[in-house]
């Protein structure tokens, strides 16, 4: 329980401020998740109205990023937080950048689906894209859940999913190339699909980043650019060392 509670402060206003900024980050996360879900269904159902909606709502995501950034700066300037609180604020300022990028990728997919909606839909309704999208959605969801619960262990699962996403993306690319060689008239569409898959793969990377911020926030360890196994053993070691 103490992992989810922010450390108690003499000034409860400070606590409220931290809690509020974290809640607004998660709210932005919810909006971005929604955008991702919508753009994927717009793609698979060739729903151009929904795609246009995603493109329009990206503005909200951007505004939220600016607002949260300002709130973080204000806390840094007026409260001079230290240790855990400082790590929380730093993690939030980083996470909103990643979330904003995810929003951009969702907009990109929406624009692609606007273009694809004018073409005939393939019989499988972009099965591969939907599968990849599902994986990436889960990743983002897990990463944000870990943020909400300050759960470093759950955050560790996200990079594992990222490997799966990378493999999936790889095989999709190969498949697209095969289709292009079989039928050169399809090249235009296949390129678009590759772009959408690429955007999803990027979303996976951003989700992984967010999960890494959670680990940083809870354990104070920077685990970027570190191999997964090493991260795990390092965190295990720390946890073991802490218990007498």
Partner 1 sequence: MWVFAAARLIATIAIGLIAGFAAGRLWLGLAIALSLHVVWQLTKLYRLDHWLRHRGLMDPPVLRGVWDDVVTQVARIHRRKRHHKQRLATVLRELRESTDAMPDGVVALDARGGIAWFNRMAAQILHLQGRRDIGVRIDNLIRQPQFARHLEDGEGSAPLLLHVCETPETWLSLQLLPYGEGRRLLLIRDVTRQTRLETMRKDFVANASHELRSPLTVISGYLEMLATDPALDAAHAPPLAEMRRQADRMAAIIGDLLVLSRLEAKDEQPEGEPVDVGAMLALLRKDVLSRPQHPALVSLAIETQDQLKGDELELHSAFANLVDNAAKYTPADGHIEMRWWSDTQGAHCSVTDTGPGIPAAAIPRLTERFYRVDAGRSRATGGSGLGLAIVKHVLQRHGGRLEIASTEGRGSTFTCHFPPGRVLAAVRRV
Among 100, 104, 105, 137, the residue binding partner 1 under the rule CB under 8 A is 137
Residue 110 in tokens:
């929406």
Total residues at interface with partner 1 (CB under 8 A): 22
Whichever of 190 and 200 has its CB closer to partner 1, that residue is: 200
163-202 binders of partner 1 (CB under 8 A): none
Residues 57-76 that bind partner 1 (CB under 8 A): none
Kindly indicate which of the ranges 30-38, 48-56, 181-189, 231-239 contains the residues binding partner 1, using the contact rule CB under 8 A: 30-38
Count the Cβ atoms, other than its own, within 10 Å of residue 48. Answer: 16
Nearest Cα residue to 154 out of 199, 218, 238: 218
Q: Kindly list the distances between the CA atom of residue 105 and the CA atoms of 58, 61, 108, 139, in Å, as whole numbers in the listed order.
A: 10, 12, 5, 15
Eight-state DSSP code of residue 126: S
> Residue from 45, 47, 145, 232 that binds partner 1 (CB under 8 A)?
145
Token couple for 104: 């951009």
Which of 38, 67, 41 lies closest to 55 in space, CA to CA?
Answer: 38
Q: Which one among 9, 14, 15, 33 touches partner 1, defined by CB under 8 A?
A: 33
21, 29, 112, 200: residue in contact with partner 1 (rule CB under 8 A): 29
- Name the segment binding partner 1 (CB under 8 A); options: 144-152, 171-179, 188-196, 201-209: 144-152
Instruction: Please report, to the nearest 10 degrees, the dihedral formed by the alpha carbons of residues 136, 36, 47, 55 taken in order.
Output: -140
Do 110 and 42 contact (CB within 8 A), yes or no?
Answer: yes
Residue 5 or 230: which CB sits closer to partner 1?
A: 5
* Contact footprint for partner 1 (CB under 8 A): 1, 3-5, 19, 22-23, 26-27, 29-31, 33-34, 137-138, 141, 144-145, 148-149, 151
């Amino acid at each position: 329980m103490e992992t989810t509670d922010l450390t108690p402060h003499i000034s409860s206003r400070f606590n409220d401020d931290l809690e509020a900024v974290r809640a607004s980050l998660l709210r932005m996360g919810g909006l971005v998740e929604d955008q991702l879900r919508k753009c994927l269904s717009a793609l698979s159902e060739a729903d151009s109205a929904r795609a246009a909606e995603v493109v329009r709502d990206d503005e909200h995501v951007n505004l939220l990023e600016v607002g949260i950034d300002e709130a973080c700066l204000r806390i840094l300037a007026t409260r001079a937080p230290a240790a855990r609180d400082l790590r929380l604020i730093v993690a939030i300022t980083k996470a909103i950048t990643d979330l904003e990028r995810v929003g951009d990728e969702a907009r990109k997919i929406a624009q692609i689906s606007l273009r694809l909606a004018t073409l005939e839909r393939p019989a499988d309704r972009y099965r591969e894209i939907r599968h990849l999208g599902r994986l990436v959605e889960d990743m983002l969801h897990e990463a944000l859940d870990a943020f909400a619960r300050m759960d470093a262990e759950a955050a560790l699962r996200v990079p594992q999913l990222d490997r799966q996403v990378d493999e999936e993306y790889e095989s999709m690319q190969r498949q697209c190339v095969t289709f292009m060689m079989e039928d050169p008239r399809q090249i235009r569409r296949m390129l678009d699909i590759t772009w959408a898959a690429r955007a999803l793969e990027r979303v996976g990377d951003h989700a992984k980043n967010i999960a890494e911020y959670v680990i940083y926030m809870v354990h104070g360890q920077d685990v970027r650019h570190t191999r997964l196994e090493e991260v795990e053993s390092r965190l295990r070691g720390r946890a073991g060392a802490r218990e007498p």
